[in-house]
């Protein structure tokens, strides 16, 4: 049977916050029984956009990760009495009547997606716009408003989603939690992986070292094992991405007629190495 899923492309999110505001427009001050009570004016981020800076000046990227409720298939927030329950269409709902006073539910979500409505003493979160979907909508407010198409609502069977995961490289955020989210991310490496970048020029001519090869290999126990290769572009810059964070890497830059340049870098986070001048020899 088909269920609701969200696919979010991290590379397309520009932190405009339109999805956050559309959520506010829909839910602040509006009750949608039996699925949700009104969201309070402040303090809640049912669509929460996380931000991360990658690298250092002059080669810097910023990654944005929109995080709603993941509508997990193995959701630790579910309760035996139906205060939090999973629908057949995949959505996880907090019952606004049964959950009243159940403040402990807030801490059951490892993603921090549940917020406490202090006035009502009610845990609350993204409902997947279930009230709209039941009216026949084929978009959530966030997917409808996103100007870059970063958020897509998908009505698909688990088998169809598994195929998309395979062909499109979709990933769950913090899959190690084992909650089996129904929100999938594209280009999640922008959040979970690191890059090494730098600028390269020829010392004798001051020209950009366009075309020079960059080899990033693991240092230490697996020294010499090539991890990934890149090339210096026509601006004299390189950026090798999708590296596992943590540990030492060796970066080797080579160009015909010039001495190879090697440097060890610690990639706990993305690193911009600065300018490398290649010496003729």
Considering the complex, state which of residue 36 and residue 199 has its C-beta at the smaller distance from ligand SF4: 36
Q: Residue 255 — φ and ψ, nearest 5°?
A: -145, 140
Shortest Å, Cβ 88 to ligand SF4: 15
Shortest Å, Cβ 178 to ligand SF4: 11
Considering the complex, state which of residue 15 and residue 254 has its C-beta at the smaller distance from ligand SF4: 15
Shortest Å, Cβ 188 to ligand SF4: 14
Beta carbons of 209 and 236 less than 8 angstroms apart: yes
Considering the complex, state which of residue 148 and residue 262 has its C-beta at the smaller distance from ligand SF4: 148
Q: Which helix (H) or strand (E) holds 193?
A: none
Considering the complex, state which of residue 111 and residue 258 has its C-beta at the smaller distance from ligand SF4: 111
Considering the complex, state which of residue 126 and residue 197 has its C-beta at the smaller distance from ligand SF4: 126
**Burial of 118 from C-beta contacts in 10 A (0-12 / 13-18 / 19+):** exposed
* Number of alpha carbons in the 13 Å side-chain half-sphere of residue 242: 7
Shortest Å, Cβ 129 to ligand SF4: 14
Sequence-separated (6 or more) residues with CB below 8 Å from residue 262: 250, 251, 252, 253
Considering the complex, state which of residue 114 and residue 251 has its C-beta at the smaller distance from ligand SF4: 114
Shortest Å, Cβ 200 to ligand SF4: 33
Distance CA 171, CA 189 (A): 9
266's tokens: 């610690």
Shortest Å, Cβ 2 to ligand SF4: 19
Considering the complex, state which of residue 8 and residue 214 has its C-beta at the smaller distance from ligand SF4: 8
Shortest Å, Cβ 83 to ligand SF4: 12
Task: Indicate if the alpha-carbon torsion angle 160, 163, 165, 168 is positive or negative.
Answer: negative
Binding site for ligand SF4 (CB under 6 A): 13-19, 49, 64, 66, 69-72, 75-77, 92, 109, 111, 113-114, 125, 145-146, 148, 150-151, 179
Sequence-separated (6 or more) residues with CB below 8 Å from residue 228: 215, 216, 240, 242, 243
Three-state DSSP state, 56? strand
Sequence-separated (6 or more) residues with CB below 8 Å from residue 188: 10, 171, 173
């Amino acid at each position: 049977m088909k269920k609701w899923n969200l696919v979010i492309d991290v590379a397309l999110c520009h932190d405009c916050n339109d999805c956050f505001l559309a959520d506010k427009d829909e839910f602040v001050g509006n009750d949608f029984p039996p699925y949700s009570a009104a969201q309070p004016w402040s303090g809640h981020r049912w669509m929460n956009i996380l931000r991360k800076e990658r690298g250092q000046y002059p080669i810097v990227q910023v990654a944005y990760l929109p995080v709603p409720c993941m509508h997990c298939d193995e959701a630790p927030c579910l309760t035996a009495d139906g205060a939090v329950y999973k629908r057949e269409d995949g959505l996880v709902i907090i019952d606004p009547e049964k959950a009243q006073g159940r403040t402990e539910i807030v801490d059951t979500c490892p993603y921090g997606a549940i917020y406490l409505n202090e006035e009502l003493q009610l845990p609350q979160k993204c409902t997947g716009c279930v009230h709209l979907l039941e009216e026949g909508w084929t978009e959530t407010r966030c997917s409808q408003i996103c100007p870059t198409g970063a958020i897509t609502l998908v009505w698909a069977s688990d088998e169809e989603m598994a195929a998309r995961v395979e062909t499109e490289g979709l990933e769950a955020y913090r899959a190690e939690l084992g909650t089996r989210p129904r929100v999938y991310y594209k280009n999640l490496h922008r959040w979970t992986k690191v890059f090494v970048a730098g600028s390269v020029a020829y010392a004798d001519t001051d020209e950009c070292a366009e075309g020079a090869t960059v080899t990033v290999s693991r240092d230490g126990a697996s020294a010499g094992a090539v991890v990934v290769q890149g090339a210096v572009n026509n601006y004299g810059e390189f950026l090798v991405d999708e590296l596992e964070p943590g540990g030492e890497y060796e970066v080797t830059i080579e160009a015909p007629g010039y001495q190879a340049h090697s440097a060890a870098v610690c990639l706990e986070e993305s690193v911009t190495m600065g300018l490398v001048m290649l010496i003729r020899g």
